[in-house]
Amino acid sequence: MAQPLVIAGGSVRLYINNVVYSVAQSVSLEVTTGEYAIYGINAPYAQELAGGGQVSVSGSIKGVRINNSGGIQGSVNGRPLFSDVAASNYISIRVESRKTGELLWSVPKAKITKTSDVIATKQVYSLSLEFIAQIAFFPLDLS
């Protein structure tokens, strides 16, 4: 049976600190390359596109909370305890294909900048986190 060409969410596995984060429902990654436009005097259109600006990497993960997991602190050691909040540690994030084992992208050093827990009366306890990172690697970066 032929494998589909398009990757679907169900065929992706997310790892945080080399542990499968199975409660994740979505993950996003944003990489800005630092490219910028250079304009001439009184020119309405860019005269040149230049590099050399700052590259930034950020993203978010949304998931659900399960019983006795400890949340993001317990399941993947993603956040420090309240008593040690100043010593937040780096985490690694990796996304790979379940079917082929291909690395889709990897962030070796990230820090969680924001967490959000939402508990609706008759819905699932959901959580989300946002992160910033130093660099993102894609398959050809690692070959």
Residues 6 or more apart whose Cβ sits within 8 Å of residue 87: 80
Q: What is the pLDDT of residues 71-83, one digit of tens each?
A: 665 556 566 556 6
Q: What is the pLDDT of residues 7-25, one digit of tens each?
A: 777 788 999 888 888 888 8
Domain boundaries, the chain: 9-142
How far, in Å, CA of 102 to CA of 96, rounded? 6
Helices marked H in 67-127 — which ranges? 71-76
**CATH of the domain spanning 9-142:** 2.30.110
**Statement: residue 59 has pLDDT above 90:** yes
